[in-house]
């Protein structure tokens, strides 16, 4: 299959854009289309069609027990896919939609069973990106969309990332430049008495607590044995080609690990903070942003991990960051990408 490529970066983005219309028509014809959201690029298909959604799983090589998130254009469309909307969920919708927040609600059965992975619940969100908004409006159907990458690889924050992974495997790609948030949406379960975070993301726990009184984090976030209720809970994700190890310790400790690996004859890559990047010697060093600006780090970690795929490195070492605020989401992604954590 030759993948169609629609570049809309310098065009007016609305439901009358001919390329947006073409992408939306492809969705209605049960095809798969990659498109930008404010978090990462998503791979979309008609959420009500089992056969269309199956094309997502085939293109990504995604495990069938890993549920998908349904994307809609307006709050009024939530009722198309859910059974009920608790007051807690409505408050979160009004506060954070459109935006990087997915809510788990009781499904009404309208979504295909491979969207929900056979669960009685479904994840729903409204993305905050003009292309996503226009395409969802024009398609007139709820759209299931995980990240537009091969399963296990770093999520795509540019259309080039999508093309590198999925060219020839999907019907089309809509290119509107780099995404903004850089890490996927926060997933919150609203089916119980309290809001429960299933996946940290672009909306922090502290921000959620300003809207609903009690917010907890599900212990299953780290339990890989259970069937996942949300994407990102069970499987290894976000990994580059070379082994990726996190190093907990000072810049000097990181240099010691670089030296040790060099002595073993290994070429080393380092994903470093802006503050420490110049400190490291005898390694290919790439900065992912400042420790003082975790939004910047979140935007860049996937792109940096992918750039190492073009370098001659045997192992990649990564610095760790605070597990506060957006740092929770950053570290969640780095830990899932890593095969080892070294504490020095």
Q: Could you list the residues known to form a binding site, using ranges.
A: 39, 62, 66, 71, 121, 125, 145, 147, 155, 185, 199, 238
Cβ atoms within 10 Å of 339's Cβ, excluding its own: 12
In contact, 23 and 161? CB cutoff 8 Å: no
Buried b (16+ CB within 10 A) or exposed e, 183-221: bbbbbbbbbeeebbbbbbbbbbbebbeebbeebeebebb
Distance CA 167, CA 173 (A): 9
Binding-site residue set for ATP: 62, 66, 121, 147, 155, 199, 238
- Which tokens is 171 given? 């019907």
- Binding residues for L-threonine, by number, are 39, 71, 125, 145, 185
Render the burial of 272-287: b for 16+ CB within 10 Å, e for the rest. bbeebbeebeebebbb
Classify residue 152 as left (phi > 0), alpha (psi -120 to 50) or beta: left
- Cα(248)–Cα(254) distance, integer angstroms: 8
Residue 20: helix, strand or coil by DSSP? helix
Q: Residue 195: phi, psi to the nearest 5?
A: -75, 135
């Amino acid at each position: 299959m030759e993948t169609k490529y629609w570049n809309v970066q310098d065009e007016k983005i609305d439901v009358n854009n001919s390329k947006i219309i073409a992408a939306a028509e492809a969705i209605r014809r049960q095809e798969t289309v990659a498109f930008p959201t404010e978090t990462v690029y998503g791979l979309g298909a008609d959420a009500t069609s089992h056969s269309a959604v199956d094309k997502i799983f085939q293109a990504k090589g995604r495990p069938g027990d890993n549920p998908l998130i349904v994307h809609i254009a307006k709050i009024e469309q939530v009722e198309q896919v859910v059974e009920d909307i608790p007051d807690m969920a409505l408050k979160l919708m009004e506060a954070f939609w459109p935006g990087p927040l997915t809510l788990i609600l009781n499904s009404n059965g309208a979504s295909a069973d491979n969207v929900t992975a056979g669960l009685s619940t479904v994840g729903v969100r409204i993305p905050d990106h003009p292309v996503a908004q226009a395409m969802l409006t024009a398609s007139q159907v709820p759209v299931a969309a995980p990240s537009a990458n091969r399963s296990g690889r770093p999520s795509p924050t540019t259309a080039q990332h999508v093309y590198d992974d999925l060219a020839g495997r999907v019907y089309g790609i809509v290119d509107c430049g780099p995404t903004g948030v850089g890490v996927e949406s926060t997933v919150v379960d609203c089916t119980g008495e309290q809001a429960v975070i299933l996946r940290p993301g672009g909306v922090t726990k502290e921000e959620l607590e300003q809207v609903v009184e009690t917010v907890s984090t599900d212990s299953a976030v780290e339990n890989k044995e259970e069937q996942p209720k949300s994407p990102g809970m069970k499987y290894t994700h976000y990994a580059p080609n070379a082994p990726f190890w996190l190093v907990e310790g000072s810049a000097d400790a990181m240099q010691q690990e670089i030296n040790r690996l060099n002595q073993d004859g290994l070429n080393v890559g380092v994903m470093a903070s802006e503050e420490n990047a110049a400190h490291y010697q005898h390694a290919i060093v790439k900065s992912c942003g400042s420790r003082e600006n975790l939004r910047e780090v979140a935007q860049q970690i996937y792109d940096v991990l992918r750039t190492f795929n073009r370098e001659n490195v045997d192992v990649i070492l990564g610095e760790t960051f605070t597990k506060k605020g957006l740092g929770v989401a950053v570290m969640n992604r780095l830990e899932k990408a890593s095969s080892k954590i070294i504490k020095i």
